Chains A and B, each alone.
Chain A
Amino acid sequence: MATSGVKVSRIGYDVNTASDKQLAFSSEWPLLPIEAEGDLTINPPGGGSGNVSVDIYTHNLGYNPVFYVQRTSGGPFFPGWTSCDTSKLYFSGYVSSAINLKWKIFRRNLLTNYLSGNYNTTDATKVVDGDYGIFISLPGKSISSTNKRDFAIRSDVRQLMIHQSGYVNSSALVVTHNLGYQPMYLIFAKSGTRYQALTQSGSTWVSATNTQLTVYDYGASIADWAYIIFKDTLTTNG
């Protein structure tokens, strides 16, 4: 643990006793900076269903970045239809009706081996005292804004804090995190030169326990994985 730095608790928690996951952020571990984002409608080919390939965005970061593409409405969507390489974010899938998507690329290399460690795993009692920590507004936005989207960081909301990340060459992904609770995560699978978001199903079985994140590919087609484990818990609001 560094001897200097910054840590800020979320509203209601004493920064001296707040557990790691009760912090808004800490200079001990990274967050997920958003490099680019957008909305997109993928339409089926003229005349009916069919395969559609779209270059969603050229990022030119020179590495495979963390990304997140979600369907907001419309036709069926498999996350594995989205992928990234060192220059672009792609969509490639079988489209039967228009799919509305939101996408984000983060300023973080998927191929980063990282472990933050646990510093305080004992939750503090929440006390609503109206005491605020820190607001950091985005460039060109007022610190007095009432729109939370105008802020990079606010200590009255949760930020996604990264506990662990990495990549492995294996038929199964088995990661020991030792958080003591079931954490939120993102998982990617390599296909060619690209990393795809993992489509989760019985054939790509995922388990997040108090100590491990595990993925088995029963189709035996995935040999390389990348993952991010967050300090956020899956089972409580903590």
Chain B
Amino acid sequence: MAKISVENDKMFKVSLPGYDVDTATPEQCAIHSGFDYPKIEEKLEGYEAVTLPNSISAGTTDIKVITHNYGYIPNAFVFMKVLSPDAILYNTEFAMLPYFLADPPFLYYTYEITTTQLKIQIVYDDIFGSGPLTVGEGSPAGTQVGFKWQVWVND
């Protein structure tokens, strides 16, 4: 798919303050029925503080799974907040995923979306051969992270 807007649609238009609705461009409208907009069902957005496992093995670990059952792959926004500040790791007050905890990027939070689920994940590439991450300074294992997600109706 590519262009989906129908600029000359005239079924419903509401212009922004200061613009004549008869001549307003799509950018000058609050609503234009020729355009689709991001839409989010309230049941498919949320915030949750999640405690990570005490041991994180190399590879991808699912941290939080949200079931949407749309039957297609929708868009999503996912943000994260570090709730257990660490002196070595980067801390953040709501970053958007993917969020990289280290450089080179061997440790990061990300997400995947299927036709039924949104999976928030941590990815650990054991490039130093040090084995699973365990609880302690410099490791996210056992810490708390807050996640905000929005699964869109749109695909």
Whether B133 sits at the interface, judged by CB under 8 Å, is no
A207 touches B75 (CB 8 A): no
**Of residues 120 to 157 in A, which have CB atoms within 8 Å of B's CB atoms?**
136-139, 148-149, 151-154, 157
* Nearest CB in chain A: distance from B40 CB, A: 4
- With a cutoff of 8 Å between Cβ atoms, the chain A residues found around residue B148 in the complex are 184, 234-235
Q: Is the CB of B47 within 8 A of A34?
A: no
B1 contacts A39, C-beta separation under 8 Å: yes
Residues in B neighbouring A33, C-beta threshold 8 A: 5, 26-27, 29, 32, 35-37
Which B residues lie within 8 Å of A194 (CB)?
none
- How far apart are the CA atoms of A92 and B12 in the complex, in Å? 39
Q: Does A208 contact B (CB under 8 A)?
A: yes
A28 near B6 (CB under 8 angstroms)? no
A72 to B93 Cα, complex, angstroms: 24
Q: Determine whether the beta carbon of B1 is less than 8 Å from that of A34.
A: no
Number of interface residues of A (CB under 8 A): 69
In the bound assembly, the distance between CA atoms of A28 and B19 in angstroms comes to 11
Q: Contacts of B47 on A, CB cut-off 8 Å? A: 234-237
B contact residues, total (Cβ < 8 Å): 65
List, in ascending order, chain A residues with CB within 8 A of B5's CB.
33-36, 107
A200 to B5, CA, bound (A): 31
Q: Note all chain B residues with C-beta closer than 8 A to A200.
A: 92, 95-100
Question: Hey, which chain B residues are within 8 Å of A160, CB to CB?
Answer: 37-38, 40
Complex: how many Å from CA A154 to CA B34? 14
A138 touches B36 (CB 8 A): yes
Whether A152 contacts B155 in the complex (CB less than 8 A), given A36-B5, A57-B2, A202-B90, comes out as no
Mark contacts of A148-192 with chain B using CB atoms, 8 A cut-off: 1 yes-contact digit, 0 otherwise.
110111100111100000000000000000000010111100000
Contact in complex: B94, A28 (CB < 8 Å): no
Judge whether A201 is part of the interface by a CB distance below 8 angstroms.
Answer: yes
Among B12, B32, B45, B75, the residue within 8 A (CB) of A68 is B75
| A139-B34, A206-B92, A237-B47 known; A72-B11 Cβ under 8 A | no
Minimum-distance CB pairs A-B, first 7: A202-B90, A33-B35, A201-B100, A207-B93, A2-B17, A27-B30, A200-B95
